[in-house]
């Protein structure tokens, strides 16, 4: 066997530049008992926790390459639910930063998430028009609620009424669902436009919803009790509603917003006292829902103003509360940009904190003191702005020592530390940056703007020291000359200009320090717009890519025409020349990369490299290998000698705009439309092309389900499981079938002899342990889908093993019950019609009932024994084990110390 060429693998290091994604929401999170200081945001496929006080990232949650679309913290602040664009909901532990469980709930992106009051249930809404209620403790789906005909915009649990979910959708409807019966018992159809958000206020007393107009609709929710049912008039309310719905929902009025455009977000604090909303303008409007006592005071005060005589005072007690008595408008918060999402937090001292994310990639925290009765001015506490570009980065470049990265966007240039991925300098360019290049010595950076200006930036002070009107149109490309004494620029004004570096005296006179400047040497005039310029390393040739799809090569010294490379169907956007000046590669908008010889201009190979426009290509220094990126978001490594693709790196979620390779060839950085800069480094791990190709083929096969997308069972067309079929569920079904087959063969041989290799791999000594191990290793959210894929003969075989499993493994009673009940529910008719299974079913019922009774008795005994031990400990030690009592004692001590400190201060002042 001949020797194969080995390549070294490039692995992702991190992604940076992004502070908060515009697609997902923002939420406060409590870490180390600090409230109002930390916020959790989405950053492309990651979830970041920012400390707003010091402006640093303190935690990171990451899953596969899927964009985060929604996130929500649990009421106890211990868990974080994250919804992704592939419909999966991941539950992370805030303390350990690890995934607790995942729910494959939706077939498209998750658009809404909410926990119940205790954090035990989670409801999620998706763009597939469905709602899924999941059990956090059981780590599996509970039910799927279908009825909306458009994407879900918001969903939440009601607090006063158990197992009731409220949802809103773009189909203009608001629905109330009962989880137990899995049906909708009430629908509000008052709106003519999409309902963009709903929120429950003041312990479910009010339901507020925002639509496409400038008004917020308010509904009053009153419970239906035995005393109120006879009062209802039949003409006003149907009699059937009192038996179906536990409450009455009536329109109470509307709130006129001061902002313009549709309502984008509706957010309430945890207690439902303060409501915040914003539209398409630059302000957040706040409303306070008064307590019933305060509302009655406002009512009596208002009635006294209308009429001060005694009779009207008596009538006022019978008057109903108006919406103006219950809702108070607070000071609006002006914002510097259009708000994308926000969250509210009301502190114990009536301090309201509002954290906002904006389209321009920054986070701001505002504070409003509600104790001030009138004209309370909002205060900006913290802002995260300098950690990233406000807009997409369009170009990147490495310094000569590979320690710094320069990136340019629509308004600024940022210099990053490659080691820590933190911002070193931010330079306001005053224009759209389209090209960057480090000057030898790494003290200066050349920046090309869309207006044609060429900026010279001094890195140390972070200032623009010179602005040169280099071109009349876009300056698309800047490249250094091989002797490092100058540079060449190409622009949209059909010219290529040659510049030399000069040190000139500053304005302080001859004794002042000299600064870098550019001296114009020569101009090459062409017929078409110049898109890219490259110079061969031997300094002999200059290649110019033109808008007419050709690449012209000229002699560097005389600027005489040498070669024309034609063959692309669309303009060449990017190109590069190898270190030995023998190869030139060109990337075009026709999705191809062509490899040419510099000697004769012959095309060695044309590669259909990407699925969209190729935006950047660059050789790895001192090799014939190169990287390419395109608008399909992918980064690929190629070998220009063998014309093979080496590896595809995990690229950007949107388009990839540019890439740069460090001079030592160890690092690659790219920028894209998802606002991230992604850094990769070369490892010492060797790559074999055949293995890489096989892995990519397996990934492609795994992306498509072998059994189809739908979960259907003959005879059960209306089966709607609270999960979707995944690769994990298919593998789980395969493992169960393989386990049953191996167990059957082993038992037919008498159960003697060496264990089968598969059973030995699962560390099982008998077939019962083997089956339970296989079932327990299937993810809880995939178990039902795995059982659904089993054929009926495998179901019968599995049920026949259940009685023995139940009696021998009572520690797995819960798992066995779950499997048996699901199989009975799905395959009820075939099981009932099968006479052979009758004695098996009788045994299952008998053994399972006994096992469940034993488990219930054991749990009850342990619970009451723990209570008794707690009482004994409290009596003996004289201490209270309740956390609430301990917290109250700590608060009392704090208040006492505060009073003592204030007294001491007063004494000092008097003295």
CA distance 623 to 638: 11
Beta carbons within 10 angstroms of residue 817's beta carbon: 16
Weakest-pLDDT range from 145-159, 235-249, 456-470: 235-249
Average pLDDT over residues 891-902: 73
pLDDT tens across 817-839, in order? 999 998 988 888 888 888 888 88
Mean pLDDT of all residues in 1-14:
75
CB atoms within 10 A of CB 707: 14
- Residue 270 pLDDT > 70: yes
Rounded Cα gap, residues 178 and 164, in angstroms: 5
How far apart are alpha carbons 573 and 569 in whole angstroms?
Answer: 12
Tokens 């995942």 found at = 102
Percent of residues, the chain, with pLDDT higher than 90: 58
**pLDDT over 80 at 320, yes or no:** no
CATH class of 395-506+513-525: mainly beta
Residue 902, pLDDT score: 55
For residue 911, the model assigns a pLDDT of: 30
| Residue 336 pLDDT grade (very low, low, confident, very high; cuts 50, 70, 90) | very high
Q: Is 210 within 8 Å of 199 (Cβ atoms)?
A: no
Would you tell me how many other CB atoms lie within 10 Å of the CB of residue 462?
A: 15
pLDDT at 310: 46
Q: Is the pLDDT of residue 701 over 50?
A: yes
Q: What angle do CA 685, 686, 690 make, to 5 degrees?
A: 135
Write out the CATH class of domain 63-189: mainly beta
Q: What pLDDT, on a 0 to 100 scale, did the predictor assign at position 906?
A: 36
Residue 520 confidence (pLDDT): 92
Residue with tokens 């397996």: 698
The CA–CA distances, whole Å, from 579 to 326, 598, 607, 617, 668 equal 75, 12, 21, 14, 17
Phi, psi of 400 (to 5 degrees): -70, -25
Element (H, E) at 803: helix 792-808
Parallel/antiparallel/unpaired status of strands 656-661 and 412-417: unpaired
| Mean pLDDT of the 219-235 span | 62
**Interior CA angle at 374 toward 368 and 380, to 5°?**
25
pLDDT of residue 240: 45
Q: How confident is the model at residue 716 (pLDDT cuts 50, 70, 90)?
A: low
Least confident window among 320-334, 458-472, 617-631: 320-334
User: Can you give the pLDDT at residue 883?
Assistant: 59
How many CB atoms neighbour CB 446 within 10 A?
Answer: 27
Q: Dihedral of the CA atoms 616, 619, 621, 625 (nearest 10)?
A: 140
**Would you state the pLDDT for residue 63?**
86
Nearest one of 90, 95, 149 to 122, comparing CA atoms: 90
Q: What is the pLDDT of residue 415?
A: 95
pLDDT at position 882 is 57
Q: What is the 3-state secondary structure (H, E, C) of 652-709?
A: CCCCEEEEEECCCCCEEEEEECCCCEEEEEEEEEEECHHHHHHHHHHHHHHHCCCCCC
pLDDT in the model for residue 838: 87
Helix (H, G, I), strand (E, B) or coil at 387: coil
The alpha carbons of the chain give a radius of gyration, in whole angstroms, of: 34
pLDDT in tens, 590-604: 999 999 999 889 999
Residue 878 pLDDT exceeds 80 = no
Residue 318 or 426, more confident: 426
Residue 258 has pLDDT above 80, yes or no: yes
Residue 174 — pLDDT band, cuts 50, 70, 90?
very high
The mean pLDDT value for 154-178 works out to 93
Q: Is the pLDDT of residue 424 over 70?
A: yes
DSSP 8-class letter at 836: G
pLDDT over 70 at 708, yes or no: no
Low-confidence winner among 558-562, 651-655, 831-835 (lowest mean pLDDT): 831-835
The model's confidence at residue 894, banded by pLDDT at 50, 70 and 90, is: confident
Give me the mean pLDDT over the 874-903 stretch.
Answer: 70
Give 743-768 pLDDT, tens digit per residue. 888 888 877 778 888 888 888 888 88
Find out whether 735 and 774 touch, Cβ atoms under 8 Å.
Answer: yes
Question: Whole-angstrom distance between the N-terminal and C-terminal Cα of the chain?
Answer: 96
pLDDT band at 291; cut points 50, 70, 90: confident
C-beta separation of 41 from 35 below 8 A: no
Burial (CB count within 10 angstroms: exposed 0-12, middle 13-18, buried 19+), residue 510: exposed
Find the angle CA(619)-CA(621)-CA(624) to the nearest 5 degrees: 55
pLDDT-based confidence at residue 3 (cuts at 50, 70, 90): very low
Residue 1 has pLDDT above 60, yes or no: no
How far apart CA 74 and CA 94 sit, in angstroms, is 10
pLDDT at site 718: 59
For residue 504, pLDDT over 70 is answered with yes
Question: What is residue 831's predicted lDDT score, i.e. its pLDDT?
Answer: 84
* Separation of alpha carbons 107 and 87, rounded Å: 5
Whether 797 shows a pLDDT value over 80: the answer reads yes
Does the structure show a pLDDT above 50 at 516? yes
Taking residues 310-331, report their average pLDDT: 68
**Is residue 565 pLDDT above 80, yes or no?**
yes
pLDDT by residue (tens digit) across 366-417? 999 888 767 778 899 999 988 899 999 999 999 999 999 999 999 999 999 9
The band of 635, judged by pLDDT with boundaries at 50, 70 and 90, is very high
User: Average pLDDT in the 271-296 region?
Assistant: 90
Query: Is the separation of the CB atoms in 378 and 331 below 8 Å?
Result: yes
Looking at residue 238, its pLDDT comes to 43
pTM for the model: 0.85
The per-residue pLDDT of the chain, averaged, comes to: 87
Q: Which residues pair with 547 in a beta bridge?
A: none
pLDDT of residue 402: 92
Per-residue pLDDT tens digits for 762-794:
888 888 888 999 999 998 888 888 888 888 889
Q: Tokens 């690092």, residue?
A: 667
As given in the structure block, the two tokens for residue 675 are 């606002």
Q: Is the pLDDT of residue 712 over 90?
A: no
Q: What is the CATH number of domain 526-696?
A: 2.130.10.10
DSSP 253-278: EEEE-SS-S---EEEE-TTS-EEEEE
Distance, in Å, from the CA atom of 24 to the CA atom of 67, rounded to the nearest integer, reads 9
Instruction: For the chain, count helices (H), then strands (E).
Output: 14, 57
With cut-offs at 50, 70 and 90, classify the pLDDT of residue 614. very high
Predicted pLDDT of residue 889 = 77
Across residues 508-523, what is the average pLDDT? 78
pLDDT at position 871: 86
Residue 363 pairs with which residues in a beta bridge?
357, 384
The stretch 487-502 carries a mean pLDDT of: 93
* Segment among 234-243, 475-484, 795-804 with least mean pLDDT: 234-243
- The pLDDT value given to residue 312: 44
Confidence class for position 234, pLDDT limits 50, 70, 90? very low
The whole-number pLDDT of residue 233 equals 38
- Rounded mean pLDDT, 681-692: 88
**pLDDT interval class at 729 (50, 70, 90):** confident
What pLDDT score does 509 carry? 54
């Amino acid at each position: 066997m001949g020797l194969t060429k080995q390549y070294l693998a490039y692995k992702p290091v991190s992604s940076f530049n992004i502070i908060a994604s515009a697609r997902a929401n923002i939420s406060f999170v409590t870490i180390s008992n600090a409230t109002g200081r930390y916020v959790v945001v989405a950053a492309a496929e990651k979830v970041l926790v920012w400390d707003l006080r010091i402006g640093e990232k303190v935690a990171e949650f990451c899953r596969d390459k899927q964009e985060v679309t929604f996130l929500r913290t649990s009421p106890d602040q211990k868990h974080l639910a994250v919804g992704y664009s592939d419909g999966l909901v991941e539950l992370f532990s805030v303390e350990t930063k690890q995934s607790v469980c995942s729910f494959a709930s939706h077939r498209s992106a998750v658009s809404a998430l909410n926990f119940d009051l205790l954090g035990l249930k989670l409801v999620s809404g998706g763009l597939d028009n469905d709602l899924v209620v999941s059990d956090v403790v059981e780590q599996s789906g509970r039910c799927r609620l279908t009825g909306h005909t458009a994407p879900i915009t918001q969903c939440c649990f009601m607090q006063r009424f158990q197992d009731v979910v409220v949802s809103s959708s773009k189909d203009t409807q608001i629905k109330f669902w009962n989880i137990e019966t899995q049906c909708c018992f009430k629908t509000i159809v008052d709106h003519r436009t999409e309902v963009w958000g709903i929120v429950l206020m003041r312990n479910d007393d009010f339901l507020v919803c925002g639509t496409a107009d400038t008004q917020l609709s308010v509904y009053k929710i009153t419970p239906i009790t035995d005393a109120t049912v006879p009062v209802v008039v039949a003409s006003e309310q149907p009699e059937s509603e009192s038996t179906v719905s536990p409450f009455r929902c009536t329109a109470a009025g509307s709130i006129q917003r001061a902002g313009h455009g549709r309502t984008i977000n509706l957010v309430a604090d945890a207690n439902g006292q303060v409501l915040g909303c914003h539209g398409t303008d630059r302000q957040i409007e706040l409303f306070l829902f008064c307590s019933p006592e305060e509302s009655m005071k406002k009512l009596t005060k208002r009635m006294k103003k209308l009429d001060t005589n005694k009779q009207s005072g008596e009538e006022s007690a019978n008057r109903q509360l108006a919406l103006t008595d219950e809702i108070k408008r607070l000071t609006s918060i002006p914002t510097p940009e259009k708000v994308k999402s926000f969250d509210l937090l009301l502190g114990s001292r009536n301090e309201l904190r509002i954290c906002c994310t904006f389209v321009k990639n920054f986070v701001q925290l505002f504070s409003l003191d509600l104790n001030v009765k009138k004209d309370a001015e909002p205060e900006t506490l913290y802002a995260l702005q300098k950690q990233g570009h406000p807009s997409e980065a369009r170009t990147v470049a490495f310094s000569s020592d590979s320690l710094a990265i320069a990136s340019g966007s629509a308004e600024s240039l940022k210099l990053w530390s490659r080691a820590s991925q933190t911002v070193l300098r931010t330079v306001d360019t005053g224009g759209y940056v389209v090209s960057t290049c480090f000057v030898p010595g790494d003290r200066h950076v050349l920046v090309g703007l869309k207006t044609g200006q060429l900026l010279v930036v001094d890195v140390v002070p972070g200032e623009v020291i010179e602005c040169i009107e280099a071109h009349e149109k876009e300056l698309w490309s800047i490249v250094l000359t091989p002797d490092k004494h100058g540079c060449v620029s190409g622009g949209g004004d059909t010219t290529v200009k040659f510049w030399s570096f000069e040190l000139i005296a500053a304005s302080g006179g001859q004794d002042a320090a000299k600064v870098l400047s550019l001296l114009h040497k020569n101009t090459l005039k062409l017929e078409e717009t110049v898109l890219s310029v490259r110079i061969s390393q031997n300094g002999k040739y200059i290649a110019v890519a033109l808008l007419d799809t050709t690449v012209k090569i000229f002699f560097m010294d005389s600027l005489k025409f040498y070669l024309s490379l034609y063959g692309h169907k669309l303009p060449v956007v990017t190109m590069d020349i190898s270190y030995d000046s023998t190869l030139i590669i060109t990337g075009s908008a026709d999705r191809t990369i062509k490899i040419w010889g510099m000697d004769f201009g012959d095309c060695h190979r044309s590669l259909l490299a990407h699925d969209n426009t190729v935006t950047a290509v660059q050789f790895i220094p001192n090799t014939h290998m190169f990287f390419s990126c395109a608008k399909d978001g992918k980064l690929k490594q190629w070998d220009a000698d063998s014309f093979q693709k080496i590896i595809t790196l995990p690229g950007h979620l949107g388009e990839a705009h540019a890439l740069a390779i460090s001079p030592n060839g160890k690092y690659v950085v790219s920028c894209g439309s998802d606002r991230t800069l992604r850094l990769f480094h070369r490892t010492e791990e060797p790559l074999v092309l055949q293995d890489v190709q096989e892995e990519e083929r397996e990934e492609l096969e795994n992306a498509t389900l072998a059994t189809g997308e739908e979960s259907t069972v003959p005879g059960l067309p209306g089966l709607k499981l609270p999960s979707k079929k995944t690769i994990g569920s298919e593998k789980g079904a395969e493992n169960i079938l393989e386990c049953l087959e191996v167990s059957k063969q082993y038992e037919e041989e008498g159960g003697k002899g060496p264990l089968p290799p598969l059973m030995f791999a699962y560390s099982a000594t008998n077939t019962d342990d083997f089956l339970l191990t296989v079932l327990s290793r299937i993810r809880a959210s995939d178990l039902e889908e795995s059982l659904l894929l089993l054929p009926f003969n495998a179901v019968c075989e599995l049920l026949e093993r259940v009685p023995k499993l139940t009696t021998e493994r009572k520690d797995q009673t819960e798992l066995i019950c779950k499997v048996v009940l699901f199989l009975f529910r799905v395959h009820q008719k075939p099981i009932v019609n099968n006479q052979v299974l009758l004695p098996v079913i009788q045994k299952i019922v008998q053994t399972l009932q006994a096992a469940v009774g034993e488990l219930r008795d054991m749990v009850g005994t342990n619970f009451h024994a723990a209570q008794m031990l707690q009482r004994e400990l409290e009596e003996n030690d004289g201490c209270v084990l309740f956390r609430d009592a301990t917290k109250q004692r700590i608060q009392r001590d704090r208040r006492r110390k505060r009073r003592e400190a204030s007294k001491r201060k007063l004494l000092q002042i008097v003295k």
